Amino acid sequence: MKIIVQRVKEAYVSIDGQMHGQIKQGLLLLVGVGPEDQPEDLDYAVRKLVNMRIFSDTEGKMNLSVKDIQGEILSISQFTLFADTKKGNRPAFTGAAKPDMAEAFYQNFNQELAKEVPVETGVFGADMQVELVNDGPVTIILDTKNK
């Protein structure tokens, strides 16, 4: 899995002009699933994401997790994280998992996250518009294959 983790003050996703999911303070995740991803990748990602200390404590140090601040997560599927840009000018997305595998994996990922913190999602495969207000900004790349 490749996940872009963005600390936000608020974020929302809309589809065809209609609000689909919205959070206040928490994490916006752009989630890409690869064909080699296994349940241990999912478990690792969930554990890391809900416990990652990237929110400021009272002294201004990044010392609190999304769980600690009682934050929320907005999770958006993002196969383009597996883009191969080595040849030509058009990215190839052959490194991403096939849609049926990726969707099931993504749904399971969101279900496991929701056991820890409130989770909102986009719609797998939909043309989504995502808006956010950065908190920081703090942006982290989590790649479960580079542990």
d(CA 73, CA 121): 8
Nearest one of 122, 99, 95 to 110, comparing CA atoms: 122
The residues facing 43 across adjacent strands are: none
Q: Is 23 exposed, middle or buried (0-12, 13-18, 19+ CB in 10 A)?
A: buried
Number of residues assigned to the chain = 147
CA distance 51 to 64: 8
Dump the DSSP string for 13-39.
EEETTEEEEEESSEEEEEEE--TT--H
Is residue 43 within 8 A of residue 89, CB to CB? The reply is no
- Of 80, 85, 94, 121, the active-site residue reads 80
Q: Could you confirm whether 80 is annotated as catalytic? A: yes
Which active-site residues does the annotation give? 80
